[in-house]
Amino acid sequence: MANSSSHLGAAAIKVLARQAAIKAVKCELVRRGIAHVPLRDIHICADEYLRHHPELIGEARDRAERLGLYERKPSCQLVR
């Protein structure tokens, strides 16, 4: 049975990845000179951006680990 800290780590990774996607969308809007976009639309675009950039999940996992929000499980290795 998974403990609650593993659920918190997974949630932290999702939040950090989504924050990175939101930041990317906002940067693109600024680059295009678009000033006023409803937050709902930014979040929709960020979700789509995250679907197309799954590497953000790995980056978020690394960041969560550095922040102490996530601990990688050791890989199973056979000892001979």
Do 77 and 17 touch, CB atoms closer than 8 A?
A: no
Report the candidate in 8, 17, 22, 26 with the shortest Cα–Cα distance to residue 62: 17
Here the tokens at position 26 are 């906002």
Report the candidate in 10, 16, 2 with the shortest Cα–Cα distance to residue 50: 16
Task: Count the neighbouring beta carbons within 10 Å of the beta carbon of residue 63.
Answer: 17
Mean pLDDT, the chain, integer: 88
For residue 1, the model assigns a pLDDT of 37
Per domain, the residue ranges of the chain are 4-66
Longest dimension (CA), the chain: 62
- The pLDDT > 90 percentage for the chain reads 71
Report pTM.
Answer: 0.80
For residue 6, the model assigns a pLDDT of 73
